[in-house]
Amino acid sequence: MTPTWIEMNFPIYWINSNMSETTQEPLGRQVFDRLRSEYETGWLSNVYVKPSSYAAMSGMRSIVVFGAEGSGKTALALTLVQEALQQDAAAPLVIDWQPAFPDLSQPQDALVHAFFNQAMAASALALCRHIGQAPDRLKAAPRWVQTTAAWFVHRYLVDLDYTLSRLEEEVTPEGMTLLEQIAGQAPANVLSDQATIAQLLAELVRCLQRLGRGGVWVMIAGLDAWVQANESATVRVFKALLSTLALFEEPGFSIKLFAPAQIKAPLLASSGVMRRRLDDFVLDWSSVQLNEMVYRRLGAALLGAGQHVSLQDLCLSPETVQWVEKYGGNSPRGWLELSGKVLDEFLSCGGQQPLTEEQCTALLQRNPPRLRLDLTGDLVFLGYSPVTNIQPAAYRLLKYLYTHPSRRCTRQELYYRGYRGLDHEPRHSTDAGYEVPAAWGGTLETTLSRLRQAIEPDPDEPVYLVTERGKGFLHLENSW
Amino acid sequence: MDEILAAAGFKRNPFKFRESSGDPHLVDYIVNSETFALAWADEPALILAAAGAGKTAMRIFTARTCWTSLGRKHPFPLPYYLPQHFDGATFFSREAHLQAIVRAGAASLLLGLAYRPEYLLNAAPEIRLQTARLLANHLPSPLRRYLEILQEEQNVQALPPLLDRAYVLPEPPSRAVLLEMCTVLGEALAQLPSYPGSPGQAFTDLTTLLLDGYQFRSILLLLDGVDGFADLGQDAALTCQALAPVVECIPAWTKEKVYFKGFLPLEMSAAFQAAFKDIWELSNIRLIHWEPDELAGMLRRRVAKATGGNFGSLDAISSPALRDVETQLVKECPALPRHVIIFAERVLLAAYQRCEGHFIQISPEDIETARKGFPPHS
């Protein structure tokens, strides 16, 4: 079975041994390698910069955090969990819930129930893990807590033997013995099959609190792939979830949802958000915060945790710093990706002296920011920075080239198919839509010129809209 | 942040509980005595308010006051909070409502008896039997389990989180008296045969037990949570349809000293009036509305109670650039307590984070930070 998000990112040995450790050795290039928090758990806490509303996101409040791809949603989720688990007392039981799409033909309340049952199954698994790791807690608890825990496990875990086999390496031998006892005994009745969400959550939270946990955090992240696969279905199920107020009224139960920015508008219309049963945040960053991220990572890479190194320390050219600021947009991943290139160049040149102006210029020339189009929103990005001064006609040309990446386009093709949107290229005066080249040549050249002005760092030396000399073919380079 | 607040003079976070049901200090700063008088009186009433304006707070305050008022003959509060009993809008039938009301009544009775065991201990054996029967048949979990919880925890506070977390009363009983109540009820339970009954019969049994058996002056049926269901959404007419089985009983119930108190969303008022014209005219109606100075005063009361009277305004922990902080905070939000409370906490959190967790001093920058992350919702 595929490891869950928490299992991947918080294997128990890491939680127990590494949480409070900071290394003083330089971490090297790895700090800029993958730029995905899932692979940075060993040192993320050393370099993490908290968003402005971080304090409001932690604690037992339910929240939904919206952010673009690369804005740091996963890093935020990991940091919240890490700090919560470091609490001496009353740390929450963190549930990694990886939702599976329920049958969307169901009515809304059935949809919510299907989702809720998934979450409870994940909670039951986490409860088993907690019991297995701290069996003395359950043994010392009042009998009603023991029966509640056993009932909950039986109710929501279908194949207990398989579940226990999954947990074998994570729990103590004594804990496994206790879990096997629970599995082997029919549980006493706690709640009927008709129990409501509110009643079930109340029992779960009280039970956990008597077992030494402050409550429950249900972490839901990794939804970018969901949205890409089926945005409307994702919106429907999560809007239903966020409109089920019973999920947000139990003080010891908290849902922390990290969602892509493009589904923000419909989810904000859910009644749970509108009635402020849960708080909503948008993950955006100031240039001060983004600079701080770069300082910390460069410092960790070159000197060790807790150290700061600025881009200005690595290169003499202020244009390089401006290049990072401009094309990094307001995306942490953007800033770090481009800063990583500066670090690479610095290290490849010996890592002892700042890069000279010539070295910086060469670096920028070799690394034009990637051109990217968001075809859904008709947006253009250079690196992570939106390009806003593209006229509609110029955008049509760019879009055609972008959606035909392997083609070397003639001007004729570009005009008829790109600019005019025809599905064919008229060749003769008798063909539908034909125009004499003299009539459109100037228009096309003017539009191409405006497009180059908008996206090229040097329109006279284009790096994106490239013309094959002597042949007149146009194609797009440095795009993704 | 709690340690930092303590260093600043707070005994607790004054804005921690944005949801009334979880706030044990609600009675310290509830206002609006005219609305309360309506909720308390022995007659049907409709209390209308926007989401976050304090319907639930008033409902909870009314229920608690039933048990804390002087004299023996007081109403029995029966909170009927719909999301506690239904996961979806499946309460379109009289039977469904009656079953849920009886369940709510059973929970309320057990909680009341746990906090005030003398009611059971002074009751005749037959009343004890009827009580045990009602509780055995209509609680979410077996009665014996709740008694076991009380006996193991030896603290009445263990019960409300499982049945109704808002049902927290002052002056809990001693351990000995509580355990005695558990013993008495357990003995009565042991004598019972099974008796499910019909919903209608169970409702009659409940009201008879409360009014005749325990001699409560009346029963206040406190309906709340109508706007907690996504299925009903913004459809006021559909919501009225869902409530019709209960509303239609109001005249008959009134004659039986069961007084309906509807804590309803303001958006429903026109539809309710159209659907239930007679009931509308029969009931006393009040709209909960907040003036800015009342909201600012509510914030100051929270601060005063949370500091034990050490100071009564956030000015005490603000920079000199800020004065009359509460009035400034109220200006940033819709005129609703929940929004104002949440915003005030956001400002505290922003100050805490800006000061890097070392202390709290609210500055204009913190209000700005909170404002940015606090888009107004309807």
Nearest to A55 among B85, B349, B377 (CB): B349
Q: Other CB atoms closer than 10 Å to residue A148's CB: what's the count?
A: 27
- Report the C-alpha gap between B154 and B121 in whole angstroms: 17
> What CA–CA distances, in Å, run from A79 to A5, A295, B42, B168?
14, 19, 54, 36
Work out the pLDDT band at A219, boundaries 50, 70, 90. very high
pLDDT at A19 over 50: no
Identify the H or E element spanning A343: helix A332-348
- What is the pLDDT, as a whole number, of residue A12? 37
Contact B230 A197 (CB under 8 A): no
B88 in contact with chain A, both atoms CB, cutoff 8 A: yes
Q: Which of B153, B159, B163, B57 is nearest to B116 (CA)?
A: B159
Ramachandran region of residue A409, left (φ > 0), alpha (ψ -120 to 50) or beta? beta
Buried b / exposed e across A157-181, counting CB within 10 Å, b at 16+? beebeebbeebeebbeeebbebbee
pLDDT at A21 over 50: no
**Residues in CB range of B153: below 8 A, 6 or more apart:** A142
- What is the pLDDT, as a whole number, of residue A167? 92
- Which pair of structure tokens corresponds to residue A379? 């947006």
Most confident listed range (A36-50, B189-203, B253-267, B341-355): B253-267
- What is the pLDDT, as a whole number, of residue A85? 87
Contacts of B337 in chain A (CB under 8 A): none
The one-letter amino acid code at B342 reads: I
H-helix segments, B45-93: 55-68, 82-85
Rounded to 5°, angle at Cα B300 from B298 and B305: 95
Rounded to 5°, angle at Cα A233 from A231 and A237: 120
Q: Which of B325, B336, B331 is nearest to B54 (CA)?
A: B336
Q: Other CB atoms closer than 10 Å to residue B203's CB: what's the count?
A: 21
Angle between helices A160-167 and A173-184 (to 10 degrees): 180
- Which pair of structure tokens corresponds to residue A81? 């969990």
Report the gap between the CA of B354 and the closest CA in chain A (Å).
8
pLDDT at A6 over 50: no
Buried b / exposed e across B125-143, counting CB within 10 Å, b at 16+? eebbbbbbbbbbbbbbbbb
**Residues in CB range of A348: below 8 A, 6 or more apart:** none
Q: How many residues does chain A have?
A: 480
- Report the C-alpha gap between A235 and B287 in whole angstroms: 35
- What is the pLDDT, as a whole number, of residue A416? 93
Region A243-270: mean pLDDT is 90
Helix (H, G, I), strand (E, B) or coil at B44: coil
**Which of A48, A52, A254, A281 should we substitute to test contact with B (largest number of B Cβ atoms within 10 Å)?**
A52
Q: Which of A292-301, A395-404, B16-25, B272-281 has the lowest mean pLDDT?
A: B16-25
- Report the C-alpha gap between A159 and A178 in whole angstroms: 17
Contact (Cβ atoms closer than 8 angstroms) between residue A269 and residue A280: no
- What is the pLDDT, as a whole number, of residue A99? 81
- Which pair of structure tokens corresponds to residue A214? 């402050």
DSSP one-letter string for B202-231: HHHHHHHIIIIIS--S-EEEEEE-GGG-TT
- Report the C-alpha gap between B58 and B27 in whole angstroms: 9
B86 in contact with chain A, both atoms CB, cutoff 8 A: yes
| pLDDT per residue as tens digits for the range B44-70 | 999 999 888 888 889 999 998 898 876
Contact B51 A249 (CB under 8 A): no
Q: Which of B261, B240, B210, B262 is nearest to B105 (CA)?
A: B210
Angle between helices A173-184 and A108-133 (to 10 degrees): 130
Most confident listed range (A202-206, A223-227, A351-355): A202-206
Contact A276 B353 (CB under 8 A): no
Residue B29 or residue B11, greater confidence: B11
| pLDDT per residue as tens digits for the range A432-459 | 889 998 989 999 999 999 999 999 988 9
The one-letter amino acid code at A39 reads: Y
HEC string of A211-257?
CCCCCEEEEECCCHHHHHHCHHHHHHHHHHHHCCHHHHCCCCEEEEE
> What CA–CA distances, in Å, run from A148 to A217, A359, A397, B57?
19, 67, 65, 31
- What is the pLDDT, as a whole number, of residue B192? 83
> What CA–CA distances, in Å, run from A83 to A77, A471, B4, B13?
10, 61, 17, 20
- pTM score, two decimals? 0.86
Region A283-287: mean pLDDT is 92
**Residues in CB range of A271: below 8 A, 6 or more apart:** A242, A243, A245, B227, B228, B230, B233
Sheet strand arrangement including B76-81: B76-81, B219-224, B258-265, B45-49, B284-287
Q: Other CB atoms closer than 10 Å to residue A199's CB: what's the count?
A: 23
* Sign of CA pseudo-dihedral B321, B324, B329, B332: negative
| pLDDT per residue as tens digits for the range A299-353 | 999 998 888 999 999 998 999 999 999 999 999 999 999 999 999 999 999 988 9
Share of chain A above pLDDT 90, in %: 55
pLDDT at A202 over 50: yes
Region B318-345: mean pLDDT is 90
Report the gap between the CA of B124 and the closest CA in chain A (Å).
30
Contact (Cβ atoms closer than 8 angstroms) between residue A102 and residue A237: yes
**Residues in CB range of B235: below 8 A, 6 or more apart:** none
- Which pair of structure tokens corresponds to residue A129? 């893990």
Share of chain B above pLDDT 90, in %: 50
**Residues in CB range of A352: below 8 A, 6 or more apart:** none
**Which of B82, B87, B95, B153 should we substitute to test contact with A (largest number of A Cβ atoms within 10 Å)?**
B87
- What is the pLDDT, as a whole number, of residue A22? 52
- Which pair of structure tokens corresponds to residue A77? 């989720």
Dihedral through CA A305, CA A307, CA A310, CA A315, nearest 10?
-80
Contact A276 B342 (CB under 8 A): yes
Q: Which of B267, B294, B336 is nearest to B33 (CA)?
A: B294
Q: Look up tokens 């204009």; give the residue.
A: B364
CB pairs under 8 A between A and B: 123
Residue A42 or residue A91, greater confidence: A91
- Report the C-alpha gap between B374 and B193 in whole angstroms: 57
Region B263-282: mean pLDDT is 90
| pLDDT per residue as tens digits for the range B339-368 | 899 899 889 888 888 887 777 889 999 998
- What is the pLDDT, as a whole number, of residue A253? 94
What percentage of chain A's residues is helix, strand, coil (to nearest 5)? 50, 10, 40
Contacts of A243 in chain B (CB under 8 A): 230, 233
Identify the H or E element spanning A476: strand A474-476
Nearest to A144 among B148, B230, B372 (CB): B148
Region A397-421: mean pLDDT is 91
Query: Which DSSP state fits A2?
Result: P
**Residues in CB range of A89: below 8 A, 6 or more apart:** A212, A214
The one-letter amino acid code at A340 reads: G
HEC string of B101-170?
HHHHHHHHHHHHHHHCCHHHHCCCHHHHHHHHHHHHHHCCCCHHHHHHHHHHHCCHHHCHHHHCCCCCCC
Contacts of A203 in chain B (CB under 8 A): 141, 162
Q: Which of A4-8, A12-16, A233-237, B240-244 has the lowest mean pLDDT?
A: A12-16
Nearest to B377 among A50, A54, A273 (CB): A273
Q: Which of A16-30, A36-50, B118-132 has the lowest mean pLDDT?
A: A16-30
Identify the H or E element spanning A148: helix A143-156
- Report the C-alpha gap between B68 and A377 in whole angstroms: 60
The one-letter amino acid code at A430 reads: T
Region A195-203: mean pLDDT is 94
Contact A109 B153 (CB under 8 A): no
Average per-residue pLDDT in chain B? 88
| pLDDT per residue as tens digits for the range B134-190 | 999 999 999 999 999 999 999 999 999 999 988 988 889 999 999 999 999 999 999
The one-letter amino acid code at A179 reads: L
Q: How many CA atoms lie within 13 A of A247 on its CB side?
A: 30
DSSP one-letter string for A378-447: TEEEETTEEE----HHHHHHHHHHHH-TT--B-HHHIIIIIIS--SS---STTSTT---HHHHHHHHHHH
Helix (H, G, I), strand (E, B) or coil at A87: coil
- What is the pLDDT, as a whole number, of residue A240? 85
- Report the C-alpha gap between B123 and B151 in whole angstroms: 21
DSSP one-letter string for A169-205: TTS-HHHHHHHHHHHHSPPPP-S-TT--HHHHHHHHH
Q: Which of A407, A286, A302, A395 is nearest to A344 (CA)?
A: A302
Contact (Cβ atoms closer than 8 angstroms) between residue A188 and residue A148: no
Contacts of A244 in chain B (CB under 8 A): 87, 230
